[in-house]
Structure 1
Amino acid sequence: MVGAGVLSLPYAMSELGWGPGVILLTMSWIITFYTLWQMVEMHEMVPGKRFDRYHELGQHVFGEKLGLYIVVPQQLVVAVGLNIVYMVTGGKSLQKVHELLCTDCKDIRLTFFIMIFGSVHFLLSHLPNLNSVSGVSLAAAIMSISYSVIAWAASANKGIAHDVDYGFRSKTTAGTVFGFFDGLGNIAFAYCGHNVVMEIQATIPSTPEKPSKRPMMKGVIVAYIIVALCYFPVALIGYWVFGNSVDDNILMSLQKPKWLVAMANIFVVIHVIGSYQVYAMTVFDMIETVMTKKMNFKPTKILRFIVRNVYVALTMLIAITFPFFGGLLGFFGGFAFAPTTYFLPCIMWLSIYKPKRYSLSWWSNYFCIVFGMLLTVLAPIGGLRSIIINCKEYKFFS
């Protein structure tokens, strides 16, 4: 659950300000915990049947065809968007390690670091399924907690900058408004684990006496406690120390102690290697299923080899073309993650369980839906503007 989005939270705070930033960070934690609980509960709501994929639940709720059209495109955008961001994150972290540990070395362009990071996935992408990446995923989880702790601890150790400014980053009204929207997307991006929750729960054995939702919910509770312990200190201490001068990746703002900051960036690289595979596996599953069942390709090793290598190459190429961490997070956070995380589970819950009108459940779900839809509309606007502004100053493929 603790993704690379945690590194952008101080940047999001600088675009939102203290009050709105703390409120929105807390609201997002509560809402996404609630919607994640809903998804765990709906996994086995039909006796004797398990919804092992997000789109299977969508088909049960909305119908065979409509469910696919609603859920699958959103899942694909989420997974592909994450994989692109992870390519950028891995490349930038490798570049930061090189800059910190090799001060006399010749500068190497970000493009090459993204390619170095991407090359690992040409090998790992041929692992058979989610269970096979469990070791990589465990390492990723440990790394994400480690670099989160280093991020806020190193920031606290540095102390507040003498010229710190807690005002909005932009000095124009339009810039402030669009920056606020971008900040919304950055927060939404940080809470993006719902996309694969069904697939993860599907790996847990289940019987009528011991349904999978019990151990899954224990995992969710532990995960969200860890999320809170990582997200809030990074967001609040990072913003407190750097103010509105903080980078869109907090680790890029830190310089000392060199060995610790370098270690944190190495942890980020290990983490996003594992996370890339977790989300890529769902895309591989979708593409290979369509190609074998709908397009009548034979499920051969050659098909698997071509599909997975082409996918890795495409995500790497897009990351090299648009290596804008903050803008990508803002855009994908609203456009893709808000629907699958903030309000789609609520729509499904209302459709299935039909809570009594004006009851607590009814109000809770409609509040999440309205909040999520506002995120979906506003956040991509801010993220896209950020990308466009960065494009003006960036030389493509440099």
Structure 2
Amino acid sequence: MLALKTPSLSEPHTQQTYMASTLEIAKNLDDDGREKRTGTLVTASAHIITAVIGSGVLSLAWAIAQLGWVAGPAVLMAFSFITYFTSTLLADSYRTPNPVSGKRNYTYMDVVAANLGGKKVQLCGIAQYVNLVGVTIGYTITASISMVAVKKSNCYHKEGHAASCKSSNYQYMMIFAAIQIILSQIPNFHKLSWLSILAAIMSFAYSSIGLGLSIAKVVAAGHHVRTGLTGVQVGVDVSGQDKVWRTFQAIGDIAFAYAYSTVLIEIQDTLKSYPPENKVMKKASLAGVSTTTVFYVLCGCVGYAAFGNNAPGNFLTGFGFYEPFWLIDFANVCIAVHLIGAYQVFCQPLFGFFEIKCRQRWPDSKFITQEHILNVPFYGEYYINMFRLVWRSAYVILTALIAMIFPFFNSFLGLIGAGSFYPLTVYFPIEMYIARAKIQRFSFTWVWLKILSWVCLVVSLVAAIGSVQGLLTDVKKYKPFQME
């Protein structure tokens, strides 16, 4: 009777097969055992531009109008420098203790836990995820405004300039939410590169259109608007009290325009291991922040030159809804498409954090952990998770409902910017650098870093106060469900 022989790893051919299989698996995994990252300088720059050039650019002409020709550009450049400087500090914190070969930290909270620990981790989580929720609400508001602008533009073109082309934002908020419910089923940040590149192209398109229309308005024959070194005039445009509140709110709007630190670590976690992630991320931050600053200064300053002290909150709507109607339509479509992608860039870290916590809390729940295979035409196999489907859809619906209740563009952006800029863009990167580099208390470097941190704290506080006051004023004036 012949005995069946079980293959052994000691046999040469079996050992070779096993080693080949192991090597093949290893090729598809990174040093932490996760799926190999494929991000590059281009994709990281696209993510940054998508996150930075958002709805914030639309309010910059209004912000410059409140601050004037001197303080406006100066504040823009100051925020640009601070954002880039602190982003380089944050990029070195992705791996610890060594920024090139240390252990990976997958989220902003992981970075804070590795470098600072204690209660600061919880404070970071609150600041980051409250900000992410706020940004997604703000993007829902802005996208609906752009969709309404397209409808109005086509209505005036068809019916005439005297027509009553009123429309509500609510139905467009629901359309935007429906699109986000579908896109939110993208499993994670690593699958978003194509969406970010498309969104970055859209941001360049509508910023360029707005800039071009502003230049055309400035050079138009006989065109003249009131501008000033200090912005809107007390007693002519606004009262003294309103001037102070608007100045504070304008600073908040500019802070919002530069807010991307909340997703920097998540963006860096998409990069390939070589070249070192921190070096690539610093180059991407320089490219992203420099590019957006040029657009911001041009859009803000040329927009102020075009509209003067009466600059609108959203400078693309300031050109009216008339001719060239097709160009205004295209610009607003670009805004809507860009914000569809930007919404995902900001909400994916929140989705990931919540889902990981739930898996850790209920590891045996099939509803939370089980993946179902779905054959999608022209796509192939798609893995769907029922918990992901339900929770992400519920989140999108909730943010849309809040946007419907508080559809106030400038005040909302200013409040989000003020609330997130100091803790996430300034405080934590500086504190982690001090801890990691073991900088001695009261040394020169320690003192100037602390001064920078305290100055930014004061700026954030006054911006928050101005934005809250503006939000309260908007609430008092607001008539719900009235079409505009």
TM range (shorter): over 0.9
* 1:153-183 residue CA offsets vs partner (Å, 9 max, x unmatched): 1111012753434442652222111111101
2:285 maps to 1:196: no
Note the C-alpha offset of 1:45.
Answer: 4.0
Note the C-alpha offset of 1:338.
Answer: 3.0
- Give RMSD over aligned pairs: 1.9
1: distance between equivalents of 2:264 and 2:217? 38
The amino acid across from 2:280 in the alignment is P
**1:311-390, aligned counterparts within 5 Å?**
311-355=395-439, 361-390=445-474
The equivalent position to 2:203 in structure 1, one of 132, 141, 144, is 144
The alignment partner of 2:337 has SS state of: helix
The amino acid across from 2:437 in the alignment is Y
2: distance between equivalents of 1:125 and 1:192? 22
Note the C-alpha offset of 1:391.
Answer: 1.5
2: distance between equivalents of 1:261 and 1:370? 42
The alignment partner of 1:242 has SS state of: helix
- Kept in 1, the 8 Å contact 2:65–2:227? The answer is no
1: distance between equivalents of 2:463 and 2:362? 36
- Kept in 1, the 8 Å contact 2:199–2:339? The answer is yes
1: distance between equivalents of 2:456 and 2:192? 31
2: distance between equivalents of 1:79 and 1:128? 18
**1:1-398, aligned counterparts within 5 Å?**
1-47=52-98, 48-63=102-117, 65-103=118-156, 104=159, 107-159=166-218, 161-166=223-228, 167-168=231-232, 171-206=238-273, 210-255=275-320, 256-294=323-361, 298-300=368-370, 301-355=385-439, 361-398=445-482
1: distance between equivalents of 2:72 and 2:445? 26
- Kept in 2, the 8 Å contact 1:164–1:241? The answer is no
2: distance between equivalents of 1:338 and 1:143? 29
- Paired residues in the alignment total 395
Note the C-alpha offset of 1:359.
Answer: 5.9
The alignment partner of 2:238 has SS state of: coil
* 1:285-334 residue CA offsets vs partner (Å, 9 max, x unmatched): 12212222236653242211111011000110111111111000111110
- Kept in 2, the 8 Å contact 1:78–1:337? The answer is no
Note the C-alpha offset of 1:270.
Answer: 0.7
The amino acid across from 1:53 in the alignment is T
User: Residues 304, 172 of structure 1: CA spacing in aligned structure 2 closer, same or farther, 3 A cutoff?
Assistant: same
The alignment partner of 2:369 has SS state of: coil
The amino acid across from 2:180 in the alignment is H
The amino acid across from 1:277 in the alignment is Q
2: distance between equivalents of 1:58 and 1:221? 23
- Kept in 1, the 8 Å contact 2:225–2:308? The answer is no
* 1:110-156 residue CA offsets vs partner (Å, 9 max, x unmatched): 11121122211111111111121211111011111111111111111
The amino acid across from 1:52 in the alignment is Y
- Which of 1 and 2 has greater Rg? 2
* 1:176-198 residue CA offsets vs partner (Å, 9 max, x unmatched): 11111101100100011111111
The amino acid across from 2:297 in the alignment is F
The amino acid across from 1:311 in the alignment is Y
2: distance between equivalents of 1:165 and 1:334? 26
Moved more, 44-53 or 272-281: 44-53
Q: Which runs of 5+ in 1 are unaligned?
A: none
User: Residues 179, 39 of structure 1: CA spacing in aligned structure 2 closer, same or farther, 3 A cutoff?
Assistant: same
Identical-residue share of aligned pairs (%): 31
Note the C-alpha offset of 1:358.
Answer: 6.3
1: distance between equivalents of 2:62 and 2:247? 11
1: distance between equivalents of 2:55 and 2:451? 27
The alignment partner of 2:95 has SS state of: coil
- Kept in 2, the 8 Å contact 1:188–1:338? The answer is no
* 1:70-123 residue CA offsets vs partner (Å, 9 max, x unmatched): 211111111111100100110000011111122238532111121122211111
- Kept in 2, the 8 Å contact 1:239–1:246? The answer is yes
TM-score, normalisation: structure 1: 0.94
* 1:189-241 residue CA offsets vs partner (Å, 9 max, x unmatched): 0011111111111111225xx32122222222211221122111001111111
1: distance between equivalents of 2:225 and 2:263? 43
Note the C-alpha offset of 1:39.
Answer: 0.9
Structure with more of its chain in helix, by fraction: 1
Q: Which runs of 5+ in 2 are unaligned?
A: 1-51, 371-384
2: distance between equivalents of 1:44 and 1:365? 22
The amino acid across from 1:229 in the alignment is V
* 1:25-79 residue CA offsets vs partner (Å, 9 max, x unmatched): 111011111001111122124243112210011112222x524312111111111
The alignment partner of 1:109 has SS state of: coil
1: distance between equivalents of 2:444 and 2:75? 21
TM-score, normalisation: structure 2: 0.78
The alignment partner of 1:17 has SS state of: helix
